């Protein structure tokens, strides 16, 4: 493996652990057997973090995860917190049990500086009016508790894996079918006047039957002239 390819693989590992587990591995932890790569790897990590701050807003993921800072999983009124599912640019995601309806839902604790907060109430009203969430390929957003501390986005829970983790193992015909369903769902949203703004493999889940479920429509805006620069580079 060339030096450039090895650096690329090490940086990919850093990003994966950061996105999926909220960890920030040190260059020494990433490549203990190659001290000659440390300076270059350190520069790559700094460049990645600078881009992350630019496109994700200020103070990205500052401080420890909520359950680490409080010593326990967070609680949400009317729900029992089962486990923490992950951490991304918009906030932390938890698996909950609805104590009244007995269903399982997902909750995203939205950072106060996240672009998800901007116009989210308006988006949810518009999306429901336009019946966007009736499409089975789009994860339903159930409720946005914007006045809670911290703000919480409650949505349908999907059992499965992100497309960026599973996509490489799919056969060609399976990939083609998944892509067709994704593009049809996005086309329907566009006909309704809503754009996703952050469509990427990490925001697409595949369920147990390999059906795509599109996440994070919260960055959407109905005005095609607004919202540029949100989401992921």
Q: What is the pLDDT along the chain (233 residues), one digit of tens a residue?
A: 788 888 888 888 888 777 766 778 888 888 888 888 888 888 888 887 776 654 444 333 434 444 444 457 888 889 999 998 877 656 788 999 999 999 999 988 876 666 555 556 655 665 555 566 788 898 887 887 767 777 788 888 988 888 988 888 889 999 999 999 999 999 988 887 777 877 889 889 998 889 999 987 755 555 556 555 555 65
Confidence at residue 65, expressed as pLDDT on a 0 to 100 scale: 46
* Token pair in block for residue 173: 């015909």
Helix (H, G, I), strand (E, B) or coil at 17: helix
Confidence at residue 123, expressed as pLDDT on a 0 to 100 scale: 53
56 tagged catalytic: no
Say how far apart CA 107 and CA 173 lie, in whole Å: 33
Are the CB atoms for 208 and 157 separated by under 8 Å? no
Locate all alpha helices (DSSP H) within the chain, ordered by sequence: 3-21, 27-30, 38-56, 66-70, 120-129, 163-166, 172-191
* Token pair in block for residue 225: 């002239």
Helix (H, G, I), strand (E, B) or coil at 170: coil
Confidence at residue 57, expressed as pLDDT on a 0 to 100 scale: 43
The residue annotated as part of the active site, out of 56, 135, 198, 216, is: 198
Helix (H, G, I), strand (E, B) or coil at 196: coil
């Amino acid at each position: 493996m060339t030096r450039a390819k090895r650096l690329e693989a090490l940086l990919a590992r850093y990003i994966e652990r950061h996105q999926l587990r909220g960890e920030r591995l040190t260059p020494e932890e990433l490549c203990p057997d190659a001290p000659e790569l440390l300076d270059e790897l350190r520069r790559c990590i700094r460049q990645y973090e600078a881009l992350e701050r630019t496109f994700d807003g200020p103070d990205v993921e500052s401080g420890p995860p909520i359950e680490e800072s409080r010593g326990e999983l967070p609680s949400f009124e009317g729900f029992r917190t089962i486990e923490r599912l992950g951490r991304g640019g918009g906030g932390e995601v938890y698996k909950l049990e609805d104590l009244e309806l007995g269903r399982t839902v997902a909750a995203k604790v939205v950072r106060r500086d996240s672009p998800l907060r901007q116009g989210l109430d308006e988006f949810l009203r518009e999306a429901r009016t336009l019946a966007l969430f009736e499409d089975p390929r789009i994860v339903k957003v159930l409720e946005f508790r914007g006045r809670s501390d911290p703000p919480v986005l409650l949505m349908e829970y999907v059992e499965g894996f992100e497309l960026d983790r599973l996509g490489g193992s799919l056969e060609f015909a399976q990939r083609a079918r998944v892509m067709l369903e994704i593009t049809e769902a996005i086309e329907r949203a566009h006909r309704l006047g809503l754009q996703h703004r952050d469509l990427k493999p990490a925001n697409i889940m595949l369920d147990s039957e390999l059906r795509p479920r599109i996440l994070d429509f919260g960055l959407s805006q109905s005005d095609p002239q607004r919202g540029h620069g949100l989401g992921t580079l």
